[in-house]
Structure 1
């Protein structure tokens, strides 16, 4: 797929991952977005992801270039979608997608999503679900490019978010 490798994050990488997330938080703010401007995500969230074996990193050699959290059939907010999911079965949900500032504009977020697809396929999970803020133009473009379908809105941490699903064949 690429020269990048995708693997579980290690506990000793929590600070490097948090640095990548902080850079992404700053970029969201600079873009005028309200997403991630309220103290979430934070270092404790990342540490919990890693503890639950849900934190994954994209690595270029020995350098962390991207991060996400992956969960299988585990997003209670998705039970109350204002709209309809494409499937009723098992799904992989991903959260906290972030790319190192040194790798922005190099297609790393898209690479990360392609690795998430492989993760789901390897586990015979038939679909991917995700949500994003209405003003996250970069992620909305990636969802469109990778053929995610808009399914409606979900309320996540008190705010309405656009929800997407991609059915894997």
Structure 2
């Protein structure tokens, strides 16, 4: 398996992949709280693909993992007290990381995050960051095991959750 940058030709397959993950992941309504059509959205996925930020992990041409990796952070990240103060275009951010339910628990998510870190470093980023719902404790454990540290929380609005707490993490290695 290898991680490849998605192209617009992958769009329909990526949508089907995220829909499958959303519908079949155990305890999705407890942890990530993704909802088909609300998060991740088709518009958001298309934008990630068009800007070259969507990455796919494939096995035998089938998507088994996907994530967006932007080489910038948004304004939601400004309120957090980071260990490294960097400009928005010096911080890579991992978004909408997902693994097929058929491959969950096999270390694929960890492998994808490690590849995202390598891509970020190779691209000259000074920091790698991400956020997750406060309720997504399984994801928090994975991030911390890899070397990310909790940096703070914000109470933010999202279509799929309403107002809720998000935890922010930063790679500190």
- Bin for the TM-score computed over the shorter chain: 0.7 to 0.9
After the TM superposition, which residues 118-133 of structure 1 pair with which residues of structure 2 at under 5 Å, given as runs?
118-133=118-133
The residue matched to 2:78 in structure 1 has which SS?
helix
Moved over 6 A (4+): none
Unmatched segments (≥5 aa) in structure 1: none
Task: Mark the CA change 1:156 to 1:54 in structure 2 (over 3 Å): closer, same or farther.
Answer: farther
- The 1:72–1:96 alpha-carbon spacing in structure 2 relative to 1, beyond 3 Å, is same
d(CA) in 1 for partners of 2:17 and 2:137?
Answer: 19
Cα separation, partners in 2 of 1:101 and 1:62, compared to 1, 3 Å: same
- Asked whether 1:140 is paired with 2:140, we answer yes
User: How does the TM-score come out when normalised to structure 1?
Assistant: 0.86
Match in the other structure for 1:164: 169
TM-score by length of 2: 0.84
Q: Deviations over 1:17-37 (max 9, x none)?
A: 122212332326555236223
Q: Which residue of 2 aligns with 1:98?
A: 98
Larger mean Cα displacement after TM superposition, 52-61 or 145-154 = 52-61
Alignment partner, residue 68 of structure 1 = 67
Aligned residues: 163
Shift of 1:113: 0.1
Identify unmatched segments of 5+ residues in structure 2.
Answer: none
Name the CA distance, whole Å, in 2 between partners of 1:147 and 1:96: 19
Shift of 1:109: 0.7
